[in-house]
């Protein structure tokens, strides 16, 4: 039951859960990868920023900066920043200046 996401049970009532996994920084190889994806988006492409070793709140702050840099919208889903449009070059340049190791992945 330690891995369960159960929040309420009729047997025990309200159950306290441990801090969510989203609040901890994900383990990775330290390389930020920029992908372009349009599948399932009606043909509209987005730039995906994966592999950032940041917690959820820091990802949202960084996402806001990237959206302002690119002048577009975006979101954070499952530890991945999604920025609307083809923005890989602009984001790669900015993240490199910020000290991240960046790779442009995919076609």
**5: confidence class by pLDDT, cuts 50, 70, 90:** low
**Tell me: the pLDDT tens digits for 29-56?**
778 999 998 887 888 899 999 998 889 9
Question: What SS3 state is found at 97?
Answer: helix
Residue 22 has a pLDDT of 47
**Tell me: the pLDDT tens digits for 68-100?**
999 999 999 989 999 999 999 999 999 999 998
CA dist., res. 34 & res. 101, Å (int): 11
Nearby residues of 105 by Cβ (< 8 Å), 6 or more positions away:
33, 34, 35
- Give the architecture (CATH level 2) of 22-104: 2-Layer Sandwich (3.30)
pTM of the model: 0.70
Residue 87 has a pLDDT of 92
Residue 83 has a pLDDT of 94
């Amino acid at each position: 039951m330690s891995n369960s996401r159960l929040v309420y049970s009729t047997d025990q009532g309200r159950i306290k859960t441990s801090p969510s996994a989203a609040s901890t920084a994900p383990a990775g190889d330290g390389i930020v990868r920029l992908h372009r994806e349009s599948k399932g988006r009606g043909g509209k492409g987005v730039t995906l920023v994966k592999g950032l070793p940041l917690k959820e709140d820091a990802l949202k702050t960084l996402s806001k900066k990237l959206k302002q840099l690119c002048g577009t919208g975006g979101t954070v889903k499952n530890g991945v920043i999604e920025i609307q449009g083809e923005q890989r070059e602009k984001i790669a340049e900015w993240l490199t200046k910020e000290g991240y190791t960046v790779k442009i992945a995919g076609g």
